[in-house]
Amino acid sequence: MARSHDAVGHAKITCTSRRNKFLRRGAFQRVVRRLKAEVMREMDRWERQEGIAFLKRVGVREGDTVVDFGARVGHYTVPAAAIVGSKGKVYAFDKNAAALAELKEQSPATIADRIVRVHTTGVTELDRPDESVDVCLFYDILHMLPAISRQALYKEARRVLTDSGVLSVYPKHVAEDGPADHFKDMSAKEVMREIRASGFSLRDKICGRLSHDDTLVSGCVWNFIKAVDAS
C-alpha cells in the first residue's frame, strides 16, 4: 500500500516537473522568438537608414553599378540598391543559393529590380565588363578565400572598376579580430599590404555601426582606388 502511494506521489512529482520544464521551454522559446524578431527589425531599420548613410560615405551614388561579392542575404546589397536608384544596378554574387533566395524574398519590392543575384560556383571571377563598375564591396569575405583566390579577386576588381571606382573592404577575422579561416595568421597590416600590392591605393578608412553576421557592431572599412602606377 505504502509502496503504491509512493509510486503515485512520484508519478505526480515527475509529471509536475515535466510540465514545468515544458512551460519553461515554451517561455524560453517565446523569448528567443521575440529577440530574433527584434534583431530583424533592427537590421531592417539599419538597412533603410544608417546603412544607406554609411554606403554614401563609401562613395555609392545614384546611377552607380555596384558589385557586392559574397553578399549573403544582402545586408549591404539592399542599402546599396536604395542609393543607386532606378538607373543603377547592384550585382550580388554568392555561392550560397539559399542566401541569395533569402535576399530575393526579403528585398523590398521597390528596389528588387535593381538587384541582380549572381549564383556562382565559388570562382573568384566578376562576370562584368571591363571598367563598368563604380563600387566593389568585399565585406567580411576575404578571410574565406585562399591567397590565390584573393589575388584573382583583386585582379578582377581592378579590371571591372572604372578609373574613379572604389574597392571597399571590410576586413574581418584577421589575427587581431576574431581570427578565422585564411586570415587566422594574418594581421590587418598584412591584408592591407596585399591589397596595395595588387594595384590599389588606400583612399580612406571610414568607421561606424556596421552589419556583421546579422548583428550591428562598431567597425571600419577600407576604401581603395586603383593605383595609377600599377599595370
Ligand X SMILES: C[S@@+](CC[C@H](N)C(=O)[O-])C[C@H]1O[C@@H](n2cnc3c(N)ncnc32)[C@H](O)[C@@H]1O
| Contact set with ligand X (CB under 6 A) | 70-72, 75-76, 93-96, 99, 120, 122, 124, 139-141, 144-145, 211
Task: Kindly calculate the radius of gyration of the chain based on its CA atoms and give it in whole angstroms.
Answer: 24
DSSP assignment string, 5-53: HHHHHHHHHHHHHHHHHHHHHHHHHHHHHHHHHHHHHHHHHHHHTHHHH
Q: How far is the CB of 228 from ligand X (least distance, A)?
A: 28
Q: How far is the CB of 85 from ligand X (least distance, A)?
A: 22
| CA gap 95, 115 in Å, rounded | 16
Q: How far is the CB of 199 from ligand X (least distance, A)?
A: 21
Q: How far is the CB of 150 from ligand X (least distance, A)?
A: 10
Q: How far is C-alpha 162 from the chain's CA centre?
A: 24
Give 96 or 162: the residue with its C-beta nearer to ligand X: 96
Give 52 or 227: the residue with its C-beta nearer to ligand X: 52
| CA gap 102, 114 in Å, rounded | 16
| CA gap 206, 217 in Å, rounded | 14
Q: How far is the CB of 111 from ligand X (least distance, A)?
A: 17
Give 65 or 211: the residue with its C-beta nearer to ligand X: 211
Q: How far is the CB of 140 from ligand X (least distance, A)?
A: 4
Give 75 or 114: the residue with its C-beta nearer to ligand X: 75
Kindly tell me the sign of the dihedral angle through the C-alpha atoms of 127, 221, 81, 33. positive
Residue positions counted in the chain: 231
Q: Where are the beta strands (DSSP E) in 58-177?
A: 65-69, 89-94, 115-119, 133-139, 161-170
Give 149 or 227: the residue with its C-beta nearer to ligand X: 149
Give 54 or 200: the residue with its C-beta nearer to ligand X: 54
Which residue minimizes CB distance to ligand X?
A: 70
